């Protein structure tokens, strides 16, 4: 029982027992009215009694003689502005004569099993038809001769509804889309806190929570990438909602470009939530016969707190957003040379690293930035994707072969969307750089952005990358993107299509990814954008993992990884052990804490392992062995946040296997406290009746004990109190 239709009353009830989503067609206006979204309710013949109508003084009304027809007081599915509703609309179309008024009226509906793919855009999917059902509601604006298709998919066994919208111009006149949200919901009250992830370079995904106020509040990006600043995610939680109890509504946009997540609390206490492409600097020309597809918004409802919401996102994104051969496979333990050498390496150095990696049990050696053109610092060579023969006399293929022979896989860094001045690409095709005619082109890290809205640019870069990949055995690609877009203008588009550049750009990026993963299905892609500037669901559709942040300091990472875990599974989070003093913040933390933090992600190293002492090598060998033993659990288990780094000095989290027979707990204490209290952490997600051994200690504990009484943290676990201390506990069912 997923999508129920009352044909006569023209009501739609999407439910899977866990959640319900109800809306209807208004009899007189033919527009859509929202009735309910939240915890599942029983289906009944009609939900007419949920309709709220009342003549309100000072309101304007759509229909003559009907004083209850003010859209300002009616909850809607996909509202427009200026026909009695004064709030921000879900769409805005400029039609003939410059008008902005629309009137999309119900025409028909269509139900399909499963979930159709979105054209040229990433989206969650199904593998079996029974996994979801999709309702498409078709609306039509007679004056614009424009069709609007609102699409809703409900998963059978997940508390998830996805939404998107598609516009089709069936008329003879051109119109312009000024705004086209992916979703809109009018919730009946405003007793919420807005939770979102804010940051900057090297300080991404910091958790924020604020009570809603009357008025407009939003998160967004206008930078050409989803950005370090705001992640394309927000949640509304009740004040009393905790990690494990209470209501939460999550909204996550499967998109990597400019977005907005906006909440408008009106004066009557209605909360309008919308999410989609940022209308700021967006304008899409819809010529006769053309259509426009919005990205997908994934809406999760949880009555089991924030962690309940996160678990739903984790499972969905891990199982039905990430694609390809790496989706269900353990990821290799990698060594990346970036923080070990930066640009200063040659073949000998890389091979030395690879040799040591082999000795330590690592599986993949990644060569980062600097292998091509004359790239000795960040001032040159992006776009010249030809190996530097001084550094690598036998080329990338020669190096890859030598590393492969050691029994270690080889991975390579690219930054395909960028170009440096002085390159062949730049001199031959200056028109391929995004820049506004007659104006200065701003740089970021000395580099310029290629116009990926042009198919020939995408094609050119594809061929360059393909020629490297065809020759060499490459198992992994780190796809970087190190600056935001400025002076966005494409010399390929007419004046009235310049508002399309940012969206067309990201479609070009998706296109390049699609072509590469199609031709090289065995390559593991890791997306990166100066760390986490495109750590978003859109990227995960192409690259199963993403570099979470350029900040590799263990203490900083606690906040970054904790915040990211609100939406993203551990299998998506690139996490490496780096050198001390840390290169981003200068902090010196013990090796075990750097490792204990990096375990809760895809795990790798990013330091000069050739310089390790014999004792350190033994330690690292053991860490790699331990991670390999636990990585399936970490990748596939249920993740629980136990103590928040945003609330104090301690952080704790854990992963429990799906059969509850195993778990791994990470506990971190930033500053040491002398003569501290006896401290316990209460675990979660265990089977209350199972008995568990902790770190193979002889005494076993019932799950309920561990969850209600907690694990005792030894005050001086490492012999003496120490700053930046941590412990990992492994639980096994007896």
User: Which residues would be at the binding site for ligand DGJ (CB under 6 A)?
Assistant: 338, 368-369, 413, 480, 482, 528, 530-531, 547, 550
Name the residue nearer to ligand DGJ (CB basis): 516 or 528. 528
| Spatial distance between the Cα atoms of 168 and 301, rounded to a whole number of angstroms | 31
Name the residue nearer to ligand DGJ (CB basis): 533 or 665. 533
Query: Are 176 and 287 within 8 A, CB to CB?
Result: no
Q: Which two tokens stand for residue 612?
A: 């390790």
- What size, in residues, is the chain? 734
> Dmax over Cα atoms in the chain, in whole Å?
87
Half-sphere exposure of 538 (CA within 13 A, CB side): 33
Name the residue nearer to ligand DGJ (CB basis): 62 or 477. 477
- Type and span of the H or E element at 464: helix 455-471
Angle at 254 between CA 249 and CA 257, to 5 degrees: 120
Q: Is 108 helix (H, G, I), strand (E, B) or coil?
A: strand
Which one is catalytic: 550, 659, 687, 700?
A: 550
| Spatial distance between the Cα atoms of 140 and 641, rounded to a whole number of angstroms | 46
C-alpha dihedral sign at 279, 282, 288, 293: negative
| Spatial distance between the Cα atoms of 630 and 733, rounded to a whole number of angstroms | 15
Q: How near is the Cβ of 532 to ligand DGJ at its closest, in Å?
A: 9
Q: How near is the Cβ of 114 to ligand DGJ at its closest, in Å?
A: 37
Q: How near is the Cβ of 413 to ligand DGJ at its closest, in Å?
A: 6
Which one is catalytic: 85, 480, 536, 553?
A: 480
Name the residue nearer to ligand DGJ (CB basis): 92 or 375. 375
Q: How near is the Cβ of 149 to ligand DGJ at its closest, in Å?
A: 39
Closest residue (Cβ) to ligand DGJ? Answer: 369
Name the residue nearer to ligand DGJ (CB basis): 357 or 546. 546
Give the single-character DSSP code of 635.
Answer: H
Q: How far is CA 549 from the centre of its chain?
A: 13
Q: How near is the Cβ of 478 to ligand DGJ at its closest, in Å?
A: 6
What are the distances in angstroms from CA 363 to CA 186, 404, 474, 610?
50, 10, 13, 16
Q: How near is the Cβ of 541 to ligand DGJ at its closest, in Å?
A: 20
Q: How far apart are the first and last CA of the chain?
A: 40
451 in active site: no
| Spatial distance between the Cα atoms of 16 and 4, rounded to a whole number of angstroms | 10
Q: How near is the Cβ of 530 to ligand DGJ at its closest, in Å?
A: 5
Give the single-character DSSP code of 98.
Answer: G
Mutual angle of helices 347-360 and 614-636, in 10-degree steps: 70
Name the residue nearer to ligand DGJ (CB basis): 219 or 418. 418
Name the residue nearer to ligand DGJ (CB basis): 249 or 372. 372
394 in active site: no
Q: Is 427 helix (H, G, I), strand (E, B) or coil?
A: helix
As annotated, the active-site residues are 480, 550
């Amino acid at each position: 029982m997923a999508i129920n239709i009352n044909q006569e009353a023209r009501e739609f009830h999407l439910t899977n027992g866990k959640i319900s989503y109800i809306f209807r067609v208004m009899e007189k206006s033919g527009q859509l009215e929202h009735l309910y979204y939240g915890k599942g309710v029983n289906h009944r013949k009609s939900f007419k009694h949920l309709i709220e109508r009342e003549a309100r003084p000072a309101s304007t009304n759509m229909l003559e003689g009907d004083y209850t027809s003010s859209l300002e007081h009616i909850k809607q599915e996909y509202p427009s502005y200026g026909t009695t509703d004064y709030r921000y609309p879900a769409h805005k179309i400029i039609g003939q004569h410059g008008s902005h008024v629309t009137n999309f009226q119900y025409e028909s509906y269509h139900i399909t099993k499963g979930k159709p793919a979105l054209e040229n855009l990433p989206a969650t999917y199904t593998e079996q038809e029974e996994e979801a059902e999709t309702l498409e509601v078709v609306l039509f604006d007679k004056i614009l001769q424009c069709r609007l298709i609102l699409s809703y998919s409900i998963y059978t066994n997940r508390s998830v509804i996805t939404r998107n919208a598609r516009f089709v111009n069936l008329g003879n006149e051109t119109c312009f889309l000024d705004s086209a949200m992916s979703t809109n919901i009018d919730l009946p009250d405003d007793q919420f806190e807005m939770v979102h992830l804010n940051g900057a370079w090297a300080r991404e995904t910091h958790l924020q929570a604020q009570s809603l106020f009357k008025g407009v509040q939003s998160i967004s990006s206008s930078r050409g990438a989803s950005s370090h600043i705001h992640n394309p995610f927000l949640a509304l939680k009740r004040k009393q909602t905790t990690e494990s109890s209470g209501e939460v509504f999550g909204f996550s946009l499967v998109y990597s470009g400019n977005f907005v997540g906006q909440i408008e609390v009106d004066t009557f206490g209605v909360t309008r939530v919308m999410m989609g492409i940022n209308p700021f600097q967006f304008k899409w020309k819809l010529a006769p016969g053309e259509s426009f597809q919005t990205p997908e918004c994934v809406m999760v409802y949880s009555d089991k707190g924030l962690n309940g919401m996160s678990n739903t996102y984790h499972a969905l994104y891990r199982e039905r957003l990430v694609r390809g051969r790496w989706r269900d496979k353990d990821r290799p333990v990698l060594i990346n040379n970036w923080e070990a050498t930066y640009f200063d390496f040659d073949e000998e150095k890389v091979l030395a690293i690879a040799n040591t990696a082999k000795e330590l049990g690592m599986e993949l050696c990644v060569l980062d930035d600097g292998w091509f053109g004359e790239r000795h610092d960040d001032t040159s060579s992006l776009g010249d994707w030809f190996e530097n023969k001084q550094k690598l006399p036998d080329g990338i293929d020669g190096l890859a072969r030598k590393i492969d022979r050691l029994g270690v896989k080889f991975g390579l860094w690219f930054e395909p969307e960028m170009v440096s001045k002085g390159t062949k690409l730049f001199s031959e095709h200056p028109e391929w750089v995004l820049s506004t005619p007659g104006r200065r082109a701003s740089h970021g890290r000395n580099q310029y952005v290629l116009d990926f809205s042009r198919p020939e640019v995408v094609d050119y870069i594809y061929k360059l990358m393909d020629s490297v990949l065809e020759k060499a055995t490459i198992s992994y690609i780190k796809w970087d993107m190190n600056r935001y877009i400025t002076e966005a203008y494409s010399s390929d588009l007419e004046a009235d299509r310049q508002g399309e550049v940012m969206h067309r750009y990201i479609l070009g990026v998706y296109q390049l990814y699609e072509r590469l993963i199609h031709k090289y299905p065995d390559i593991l892609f890791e997306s990166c954008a100066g760390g986490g500037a495109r750590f978003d669901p859109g990227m995960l559709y192409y690259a199963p993992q993403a570099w979470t942040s350029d900040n590799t300091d263990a203490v900083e990472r606690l906040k970054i990884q904790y915040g990211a875990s609100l939406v993203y599974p551990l299998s998506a989070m690139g996490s490496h052990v780096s050198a001390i003093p840390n290169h981003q913040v200068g902090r010196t933390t013990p090796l075990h804490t750097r490792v204990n933090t990096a375990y809760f992600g895809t795990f790798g190293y990013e330091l000069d392992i050739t310089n390790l002492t014999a004792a350190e090598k033994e330690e690292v060998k053991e860490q790699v062995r331990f991670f390999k033993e636990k990585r399936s659990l970490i990748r596939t288990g249920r993740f629980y946040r136990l103590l928040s780094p945003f609330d104090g000095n301690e952080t704790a989290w854990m992963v429990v296997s799906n059969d509850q027979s195993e778990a791994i707990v990470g506990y971190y204490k930033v500053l040491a406290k002398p003569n501290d209290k006896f401290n316990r952490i209460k675990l979660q997600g265990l089977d209350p009746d199972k008995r568990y051994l902790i770190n193979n200690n002889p005494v076993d504990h019932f799950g309920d004990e561990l969850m209600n009484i907690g694990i005792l943290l030894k005050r001086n676990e490492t012999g003496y109190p120490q700053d930046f201390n941590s412990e990992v506990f492994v639980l096994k069912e007896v």
